[in-house]
Amino acid sequence: MGQLQERYKSYREPQKFMAAGVYPYFREITSKQGTEVEMDGHHVLMFGSNAYTGLTGDPRIIEAAKRALDKYGTGCAGSRFLNGTLDIHVQLEKELAEYVGKDAALCLSTGFSVNQGVIPALLSKDDFVICDDRDHASIVDGRRLAFAKQLHYKHNDMADLERVLQKLPHEAIKLIVVDGVFSMEGDLANLPAIVELKKKYNCSVMVDEAHGIGVFGRQGCGVCDHFGLTKDVDLIMGTFSKSLASIGGFIAGDSDTINWLRHTCRTYIFSASNTPAATAAAMEALHIIKSEPERIEALWRVTNYALKRFREEGFEIGDTESPIIPLYVHDVEKTFLVTALAYNAGVFINPVIPPACAPQDTLVRFALMATHTEEQVERGVMALKKIFVEQGIIK
């Protein structure tokens, strides 16, 4: 046995939960993503999806992807830098830049690779990158790859952010990178205060809108638009895998910065370009979101109903302001147990344990789509209420 095999042969944490019958991962879905799905031969209410707009099964998007397959084939067989740029890539970038209110945009193969590539491409050893403690793992990995000095502040604590900024040279490049919507807790970045500090301490700001696009702002443009701060934010990042019903990601900003990234961002230059079908699907989803404001209105109606019902039933849901509703459990093993019991009761939710949160802050994540009904939410709330009471988590 080699050294690597020797190191990992004792890793049996997943097997412990498998043996207990509460292992929640890698369940096989055998139907389209929607508010109710077939999973391992089991019919469940889907409250574990990031498809906030409910567009993943929309026939218009499926047809757009099929047309792209027919015209361009299944892949591009190269990076955007060389032979992998299609006219629909360029068109989508133009539309996304206009949508989020920036000069230009770049599309990458995944949202993760946007943060992983953009942050190190922008910063040198004399620069500083400052992140919220609860920023997404892709931001953390992008920060780690950068040669810049790495700093962080307590979650949404503006006094702590100012404490960090006060110590930095005024003339240095300082990039604050923050989630617009925090993906586990559902709360929003205090963007107004961050922008004030940006101006006071001569910083730049990059906002990850992965969970804001299609949810907040005019036509679902995101949290930056929601706060009226698009012009004050230097870079806006987003993904296709949530509201845009596809796979991929983008970065948008001023023309000069995007020009630099186009020629230096390693995850852009050295990754195969996004598939024709995925690109066409994201573009069609964007068109639908812009032309159907009632979709976002429906999302907020069902979200507000769910927030009200969970509060009425005594759940601890923290400071969420979004369709992401954390139901706090505060115990790793109980979090797995609750997830398994909910699945058995026909409700799919996601467990959130370390490293996605602190050990004392474990939770299950209940997320809404525009296509959920109040009746489905009610079924989910009552099933979870029974489980949480039986497990002594709430009264």
Residue keyed to tokens 């990031």: 50
The burial of 395, by beta-carbon neighbours within 10 Å (0-12 exposed, 13-18 middle, 19 or more buried), is given as exposed
| DSSP 8-state secondary structure symbol assigned to residue 1 | -
Instruction: Check if the beta carbon of residue 248 is closer than 8 Å to that of residue 279.
Output: yes
Structure-token pair, residue 172: 């240095």
Catalytic residue among 49, 113, 183, 322: 183
196 CB-near residues (< 8 Å, 6+ apart): none
SS3 state at 134 = coil
**291 sits in which H/E element:** helix 276-291
**250 sits in which H/E element:** strand 249-253
Structure-token pair, residue 262: 């186009």
Catalytic residue among 211, 226, 334, 372: 211
Active site residue 170: no
Estimate to the nearest angstrom the gap between the alpha carbon of 154 and the chain centroid: 20
Active site residue 211: yes
Instruction: Check if the beta carbon of residue 343 is closer than 8 Å to that of residue 380.
Output: no
Catalytic residue among 89, 152, 242, 334: 242
Instruction: Check if the beta carbon of residue 70 is closer than 8 Å to that of residue 90.
Output: no
Active site residue 242: yes
CA angle, 146 then 234 then 147, to 5°: 10
Instruction: Check if the beta carbon of residue 297 is closer than 8 Å to that of residue 52.
Output: no
Instruction: Check if the beta carbon of residue 281 is closer than 8 Å to that of residue 64.
Output: yes
Q: Which ranges of 74-206 does DSSP label H, i.e. alpha helix?
A: 87-100, 111-122, 137-145, 158-166, 191-201
Catalytic residue numbers read 183, 211, 242
